[in-house]
Amino acid sequence: MLMQVENLRIYAQAYAQWPEPAYLQTAHDIQRYLQTFLTSADGAFYTSQDADLVPGEHAADYFSLDDAGRRARGIPRIDTHCYARENGWAITALCTLAGVTGDEAALHDAERAAQWVLAHRALPDGGFRHDEVDAAGPYLGDALAMGRAFFALYQTTGNGAWLTRAEAAADFIGAHFAHGDAPGFATADTTRKTFPVSQPQFDEALALARFANLLAHATGRASDRALAESALRWVLAPEIVRGHGPYVGGILLAEEELRTEPLHVTIVGRKDDPAAQALFLAAQRAPAAYKLIEWWDRREGPPPRAEAIFPDFDRPAAFLCADGACSSPLFTTKALKARLEKATSVARN
């Protein structure tokens, strides 16, 4: 699953950056594979599919056949376990595709999987079981993947309930995986005695730093920022970073994100207003991976982080925001796209 969803996410982002049809086609091909082979009848995602038709026999000749030829010979075994972590990965990737393209089917599949995980894997205080039964969990990977998934759903739908879920996952991580007085967060629950003692893991630490940092920008919560800083401090310890030279790209991305603000767009308007919907979709298509897209409908309560900085207009408007202040209002998708193009071209340079 990790191979599929990371490629799905990357090709969707590539299409947003450089709108080549081949990138979008590849993303849709992976989406179709997930739907055809790795989706359960009730919308959860399976874990993996074997590479070989016959276990232990290299299947190069099998994959040289077309679809009909492969189906005639049979289908490689599918692992039908439904893990919270793998579902979180898939949800995040599908949200990326939906945001870039407006693909309602991708968003529907993401939301359906999220509801399945909440019904079948959720723990009472914001965490998740890995499988139906955890022998040694809960694990950081599941809470982190689902926290990222909920945040992706929040950004893709504008529904604040998903942000609340992401906050709960972050709180669970802080309560259950802290690495004692040292920085970092362990892979398994540190409130339980285990042998050997659970330790942080490099990829999880980077992913947590980036997730918690972006979440902090959305919530304004000091606890989210503290999660991000602690995870990155562990990564940057000399004894850790020396052993991960080939992964310097991830380290640099996490460090840059923690010291800069994301591309931040807020849409102010009713969520049943087509003009506001169009602005929201245009904001999502901005070719930036590090971004915060918010949609405030005054009927739903106070603005994000209770920032009373948005003037009241008689029509929907978009604002680019930074440092607690926002741009002049942008009332059309054309104006918003032009402003986003300028902002993202400056970021690229």
> Read out DSSP for 218-235?
HH--HHHHHHHHHHHHHH
Residue 349 pLDDT > 60: no
* Percentage of the chain exceeding pLDDT 90: 83
Provide the whole-model pTM.
Answer: 0.95
Evaluate the CA torsion angle 17, 21, 23, 26 in order and state its sign.
positive
pLDDT in tens, 215-259: 999 999 999 999 999 999 999 999 898 887 777 899 999 999 999
For tokens 């599929």, the residue is 4
pLDDT in tens, 27-85: 999 999 999 999 999 999 999 999 889 888 888 889 899 999 999 999 999 999 999 99
Report the chain's terminal Cα–Cα distance, integer Å: 34
pLDDT in tens, 160-185: 999 999 999 999 999 999 988 889 99
Write down all domains in the chain, each with its CATH number in brackets: 263-348 (3.40.30.10)
Give the integer Cα–Cα distance in Å for 143 and 128.
6
Per-residue pLDDT, 347: 55
Per-residue pLDDT, 322: 82
